[in-house]
Amino acid sequence: MDPREYALMYAVEDRHWWYRGMAAITCAFLDRWYENREPIRILDAGCGTGAAMTTYLARYGTVWGMDIAAEALRFCRQRGAARLARASVASLPYAEDTFDLATSFDVLYEQAVPSDLESLRELRRVLARGGRLLLRLPAYAWMRRSHDAVVHTRRRYTRPEVENLLRESGFRIEHVSYANAALLPAAMLKKIGERLFPPARAQSDLALRAGIFNGLLARILAGEAARVTRSGLPFGLSIFAAGIKP
């Protein structure tokens, strides 16, 4: 990821509509699985600047965070996060069968991940039997745009591709769904705009401020939570996938 992106992420991830909406969808999954249960051991693989691990993931148990970037971990510490490790998701510094839940939100698609399949096998290794993986990944190769240049995207996925990866890495597929369907048309328009008028410098989507529409967009995305977590959405700009280590 472009090193400047960490400061931007840290600055916006508590209030930007995209993060708020994605947090609502993620919590809809986690509430169903873990609400009112014994605290669990959670690994957030590719924790970035730490919003997920220090806010909503912490509600379900004890959270460990790891990331390849020292800059990301520095921001995690500013948030008061402990239990941090600098490592690659392709080679995790934890023993087998350590965690009940591993989350990895928008990480495995990055160029700095040498192999998504091997990384999934590694996540499977550190999960306990019956443990769960919750992934979020960007969808559709044809939606590659200037944002992907900034975050160093290696690959965007379709639902069948994610399902194959989960199976090949030894997970039992629990649930896979697209998400962020309502705002896909807006992203397509932005992509067409970039084609017609290429920006002087690639810009991450996070740099775009929604202003007075921030709350509305957050509610639109959060409003997808019930569909994403139950019947599933047939299209969208992101993919959520849950798998169980048999």
Ligand X SMILES: C[S@@+](CC[C@H](N)C(=O)[O-])C[C@H]1O[C@@H](n2cnc3c(N)ncnc32)[C@H](O)[C@@H]1O
Q: Kindly list the residues in this chain that would bind ligand X in the complex (CB under 6 A).
A: 1, 9, 46-48, 52, 67-69, 72, 88-90, 105-107, 110, 112-113, 151
Residue 213 CA to residue 230 CA, distance in Å, equals: 27
Indicate the residue whose CB is closest to ligand X.
48
Beta carbon nearer to ligand X, 67 or 100: 67
Residue 232 CB, shortest distance to ligand X, in Å, is 21
Order of strands across the sheet that contains 84-86: 84-86, 61-67, 40-45, 99-105, 127-138, 238-244, 172-179
* Smallest gap from residue 151 Cβ to ligand X (A): 5
Which stretch of DSSP H or E encloses residue 177?
A: strand 172-179
Considering the complex, state which of residue 47 and residue 184 has its C-beta at the smaller distance from ligand X.
47
| Closest approach of ligand X to the CB of residue 13, in Å | 6
Amino acid identity of residue 172, one-letter, is R
**Please, which residue, 22 or 166, has the CB nearer to ligand X?**
22
> Cβ closer to ligand X: 3 or 130?
3
3-class SS letters over 185-203: HHHHHHHHHHHHCCCCCCC
In the bound state with ligand X, the residue whose beta carbon lies nearer, of 74 and 175, is 74
Q: Are 184 and 235 in contact (CB under 8 A)?
A: yes
Cβ 56 to ligand X shortest distance, Å: 11
Q: Terminal CA-to-CA distance of the chain, rounded, Å?
A: 33
Q: How far is the CB of 150 from ligand X (least distance, A)?
A: 10
What single letter denotes the amino acid at residue 136? R
